[in-house]
Amino acid sequence: MKMIIRLVILFAVIILLEFYAFQAIKTISKNKIIRFAWLFISVAVYANFLYVALTYDRGQGQTPQFQMAMGLLLTVLIPKIIVLLFMFGEDIYRWFLKLISAISSENTKPLASRRKFISQIALGLAAIPFASFIYGILQGKYNYKVLKYQLSFKDLPDAFDGFTITQISDIHSGSFTNKEKIKYGVDLINQQKSDIMLFTGDIVNNKADEMDDWIDVFDKLEAKEGKYSILGNHDYGDYMDWKNPQDKIDNFQKVKDIHKKIGFDLLLDEHRYLEKDGQKIALLGVENWGKGFNQAGDLKKASKNIKKEDFKILMSHDPSHWEEIVKKDNLNYHLTLSGHTHGLQMGIEIPGWLKWSPSQFVYKQWAGLYEEAGRFINVNRGFGYHAFPGRVGIWPEITVIELKKA
C-alpha cells in the first residue's frame, strides 16, 4: 500500500512539472515543432527509464544501462523544477491579483507580457543545469583533477620530510564504459610519481567480476615505496540480492583477491610500518565503518602494538568514522584518508570562494581537507562514479599529499 501511495505521489509531481514546463514553452513559442520536440524528448526519457527499470536484472545491481536511464531522467526533471518554481510563483501572483480585483472591484488584469518574461527567465535558468548535466554525463565524469596539499607536523620523523602520498578512492569499476578515458586517468595518477599510493575503498559497485575488464588497466599503477588499500561499503556485496549466502561469501573473497591482482596490499584492520633511513611511520587500514551502518572496521585491532608517539596515517573509507571515533582517540591519528561521499557528484566549487553540495547535509566532512586540533582528514571525491553516470561541478579527484617536518 505504501509503495502504491509513493508511486501516485511521484506520478502527480511529474505531471505537475510537465504541465508548468509545457506552459512555459507555449508562452514563449507558437512553433508546433518546438512543442512536439519538447513533449517527444520527455516521453522518450520516461519510457526509457520505465523499460530499463522493469527489465534489468536486479541481481546485477545498478548496471551502466540503469545508471544512464537514471541520469537522463534527472537531466530532464531537475531543470523543470526550476521552471515550476517560477511559473507557480507567477500563478500565485495572478491569483492574488484576481482576489484583490474581486474584493475591490478594481481592474487588475495580469499582463501577458509579464507571463512571457517570467517564462523566458525560467527557461533560461533551467538551461544551466540541463547543459551541466549533459556535460557531466558525457565529459564531466572524466574531468580528472589533481589536488595537491602540503601538511606540516612537528613530530614527523626527519627521514619522511618531503614524503609524498597519492590517494585515490571509489573506483566503482562496474560503472565504467570508456577504457581510453580510464587509461588516461591511470596515467595521470602515475605522473604524480609519489612515494606511496593509497586506495581508500569501493573498487566495485557490487560484484567482483565488474573488475575483470579493468585489471589490465589498474595493474599499471605505480608507486616507489608500495601500494596499499582498504575496502569500502560497496565491496561487501550488501546491495545485492544473492541467490544464496555462499555466493555472497565467495564474491567477497574474490573482491579481496582483486587488490592482490593489481599490486595492492589490502589492509583488513591491520597496519604496516613504513621505514626510511632507520625511522618509521605507521600506516593503518580498517574495514568499512559508517555511522549507522556496516561497522565492520575495528580500529583497536588495526592499532594493536602501535605506540602513541608513532606518526600515524589511517585509511578509513567513510569520513563519519573520523567524526565519530578517530579524531577523539587518544592514540592520536595524525592523518586520516577517506572517500565514500563522492561529493554527491553534484555541486558548485569555486576555490577560495564557494564550496557547496547537498552532500554537506549528510556528512560534516564531505570533500577535501579538514583539520581539528592538529589532526587532519582528507575526503577524496572519488575516481569513478556511481548511481548518477556523471559529475556536475564535483570532479573526479587524484590527491597528492606531501608531508613536511614543521
Over 80: is that where the pLDDT of 380 sits? yes
pLDDT score recorded for residue 385: 97
pLDDT score recorded for residue 276: 94
pLDDT score recorded for residue 110: 57
Q: When comparing pLDDT for 241 and 157, which is higher? A: 157
Ranges in the chain annotated CATH 3.60.21.10: 145-405
In this structure, are residues 145 and 394 in contact, taking their beta carbons and an 8 Å threshold? no
Confidence category of residue 87, pLDDT binned at 50, 70, 90: confident
| Residue pLDDT, tens place only, 101-139 | 777 666 555 566 777 888 889 999 999 999 999 999 999
Over 90: is that where the pLDDT of 29 sits? no
How far apart, in whole angstroms, are the C-alpha atoms of residue 143 and residue 396?
6
Confidence category of residue 375, pLDDT binned at 50, 70, 90: very high
How far apart, in whole angstroms, are the C-alpha atoms of residue 398 and residue 382?
8
| Residue pLDDT, tens place only, 144-199 | 999 999 999 999 999 999 999 999 999 999 999 999 999 999 999 999 999 999 99
In this structure, are residues 296 and 233 in contact, taking their beta carbons and an 8 Å threshold? no
pLDDT score recorded for residue 125: 93
pLDDT score recorded for residue 4: 77
Mean pLDDT of 215-242: 95
Mean pLDDT of 80-108: 78
82: exposed, middle or buried (Cβ count in 10 Å: 0-12, 13-18, 19+):
buried
Q: Nearest CA to 321 among 392, 190, 230?
A: 230
| Residue pLDDT, tens place only, 298-324 | 999 999 999 999 999 999 999 999 999
pLDDT score recorded for residue 100: 76
Mean pLDDT of 44-54: 91
How far apart, in whole angstroms, are the C-alpha atoms of residue 362 and residue 1?
29
What does pTM read for this prediction?
0.91
Confidence category of residue 396, pLDDT binned at 50, 70, 90: very high
Mean pLDDT of 279-285: 98
* One-letter-per-residue 3-state SS of the chain: CHHHHHHHHHHHHHHHHHHHHHHHHHHHCCCHHHHHHHHHHHHHHHHHHHHHHHHCCHHHCCCHHHHHHHHHHHHHHHHHHHHHHHHHHHHHHHHHHHHHHHHHCCCCCCCHHHHHHHHHHHHHHHHHHHHHHHHHHHCHHHCCEEEEEEEEECCCCHHHCCCEEEEECCCCHHHCCCHHHHHHHHHHHHCCCCCEEEECCCCCCCCHHHHHHHHHHHCCCCCCCCEEECCCHHHHCCCCCCCCHHHHHHHHHHHHHHHHHCCCEECCCEEEEEEECCEEEEEEECCCCECCECCCCCHHHHCCCCCCCCCEEEECCCCHHHHHCHHHCCCCCCEEEECCCHHHHECEEECCCEEECHHHHCCCCCCEEEEECCEEEEECCCCCCCCCCCCECCCCEEEEEEEEEC
Domain 145-405, second-level architecture: 4-Layer Sandwich (3.60)
Lowest mean pLDDT among 4-8, 297-301, 395-399: 4-8
Cell of 256: 579481496
pLDDT score recorded for residue 27: 86
In this structure, are residues 299 and 330 in contact, taking their beta carbons and an 8 Å threshold? no
Confidence category of residue 215, pLDDT binned at 50, 70, 90: very high
pLDDT score recorded for residue 3: 65
